[in-house]
């Protein structure tokens, strides 16, 4: 009996995922718990293991398709079941297309196919979803290339000749009747949603000139883009900027990093900033909240998200209950989260539930930044590069020059606090940063 491979539930709030790529092809032998495919969500990428030994009889969701948790991705069975699943010779075209479309979707940009041999990701995805043979479609693009419009026209023509069949597919807002094909890919949702996305991709292709190369958006990059635009539309952003003297923190770190290292803990500046955020949230609890129409929901627990830059994007793993941990505990958890983030080993729930976010943009040399709020949170703290600067010190409270003034060299950094003006006003924002600054400058 065949074993069903389903889209897993990758976390409490993760309800869908995108098939990034198949690691096995139809007809391949697989072992239980062997990596079968890679799934990409708006947060993380992960591998899905085979639930049983056997032959990969059928792949039902092509690379690039997004489906809900619980959707059937593939079937694993015996060699006899795989042989029985193969269509008759008159269906060979569909079989070639299914693998051909998937191969086309994986074509690297360095191969640069052209003419009829070029298949855009949009066309490849549509072909895989509807089990079409591109060889049967008239290409009106350059060199006979099959475009999205060609595929849409083919589907509409097929629908007109297939009235009375019972498989509905929504195309461009109309319900069309399509002849079902043996082993056709079953994906959640309608083709209308995929075509809406295709419109955007196709529009991007039309904007290219001969000197440009289109890099398709990854699931992570698309999610980041959507989240950032949504955040700016959702809340009025205000940023206030302080500067902090990091002398006390640097002295403490220099005195303790060796003892921390002996315990296997790399003592970076990040846990110091997390501890300073905790001081700020204690001083201004509303900064640890979210805005709702019913009122401001203040979080009782402090779950601090830490932005971690990756080669192709950004993830924000969450350090939970930061206010309950000392510096050593914070440093250990920061090490663990950053390592698992960069090794693609985060669990979906590791990036959920943050109540405030820290972004250390200074690691790249940046001095000042105005971070975008990680919705639905109220605030995000940006930390600039720590650099030596001349600073005026004086025992006098007067701003006029006097004999007590002196110029000293100090390691300084800018702290930028971006907050939701629906929740906090300027005075509260400054009070938060004052507490952060004082914690850093007076580190014991």
Taken in order 23, 29, 34, 39, is the CA torsion positive or negative?
positive
- Exactly one of 45, 237, 421, 430 is catalytic; which is it? 421
Residue with tokens 């032959």: 55
The C-alpha atoms of residue 86 and residue 312 are separated, in whole angstroms, by: 39
- Which SS3 state, helix, strand or coil, does residue 176 take? strand
Contact 239, 426 (CB under 8 A): no
Q: What is the 3-state secondary structure (H, E, C) of 57-112?
A: EEECCCCCCEEECCCEEEEEECHHHHHHHCCCHHHHHHHHHHHHHHHHHCCCCCCC
Q: What burial class does residue 37 get, using C-beta atoms within 10 Å of its C-beta: 0-12 exposed, 13-18 middle, 19+ buried?
A: buried
Beta pairing partners, 409: 390
Strands (E), 174-247: 174-178, 237-245
**Distances from the Cα of 206 to the Cα of 6, 84, 147, 149, 214, angstroms:** 36, 43, 11, 13, 10
Contacts of residue 149, Cβ cutoff 8 Å, sequence gap at least 6: 140
Q: Catalytic annotation on 421? A: yes
Catalytic residue set: 421, 425
């Amino acid at each position: 009996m065949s074993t069903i491979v389903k889209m897993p539930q990758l976390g409490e709030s993760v309800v869908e995922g995108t098939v990034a790529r198949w690691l096995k092809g139809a007809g391949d032998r697989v072992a239980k718990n062997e990596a079968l495919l890679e799934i990409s969500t708006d947060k993380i990428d992960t591998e899905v293991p085979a639930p049983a030994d056997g032959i990969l009889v059928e792949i039902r969701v092509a690379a690039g398709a997004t489906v809900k948790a619980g959707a059937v991705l593939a079937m694993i069975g015996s060699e006899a079941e795989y042989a029985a699943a193969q269509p008759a010779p008159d269906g060979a075209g569909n079989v070639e297309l299914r693998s051909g479309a998937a191969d086309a979707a994986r074509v690297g940009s360095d191969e640069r196919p052209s003419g009829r041999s070029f298949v855009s990701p949009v066309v490849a995805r549509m072909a895989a979803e509807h089990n079409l043979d591109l060889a049967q479609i008239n290409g009106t693009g350059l060199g006979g290339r099959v475009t999205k419009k060609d595929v849409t026209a083919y589907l509409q023509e097929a629908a007109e000749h297939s009235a009375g069949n019972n498989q509905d597919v929504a195309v461009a807002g109309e319900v069309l009747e399509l002849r079902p094909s043996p082993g056709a890919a079953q994906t959640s949702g309608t083709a209308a949603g995929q075509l809406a996305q295709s419109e955007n991709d196709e529009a991007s292709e039309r904007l290219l000139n001969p000197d440009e190369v289109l890099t398709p958006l990854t699931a992570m990059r698309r999610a980041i883009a959507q989240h950032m635009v949504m955040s700016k539309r959702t809340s009025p952003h205000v940023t206030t900027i302080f500067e902090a003297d990091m002398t006390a923190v640097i002295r403490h770190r220099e005195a303790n990093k060796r003892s921390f290292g002996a315990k296997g803990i790399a003592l970076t500046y990040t846990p110091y900033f997390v501890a300073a955020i905790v001081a700020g949230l204690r001083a201004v609890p509303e900064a640890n909240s979210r805005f709702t129409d019913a009122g401001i929901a203040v979080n009782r627990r402090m779950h601090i998200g830490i932005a971690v830059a990756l080669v192709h994007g950004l993830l924000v793993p969450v350090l939970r209950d930061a206010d309950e941990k000392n510096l050593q505990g914070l440093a250990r958890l920061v090490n663990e989260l950053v390592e698992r983030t960069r090794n693609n080993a985060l669990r979906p729930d590791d990036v959920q539930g943050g109540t405030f976010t820290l972004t250390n943009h200074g690691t790249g040399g940046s001095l000042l930044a105005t971070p975008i709020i990680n919705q639905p949170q109220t605030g995000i703290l940006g930390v600039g590069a720590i650099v030596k600067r001349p600073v005026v010190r004086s025992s006098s409270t007067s701003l006029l020059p006097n004999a007590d003034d002196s110029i000293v060299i100090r390691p300084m950094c800018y702290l930028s606090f971006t907050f939701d003006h629906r929740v906090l006003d300027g005075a509260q924002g400054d009070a938060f940063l004052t507490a952060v600054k004082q914690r850093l400058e007076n580190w014991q």
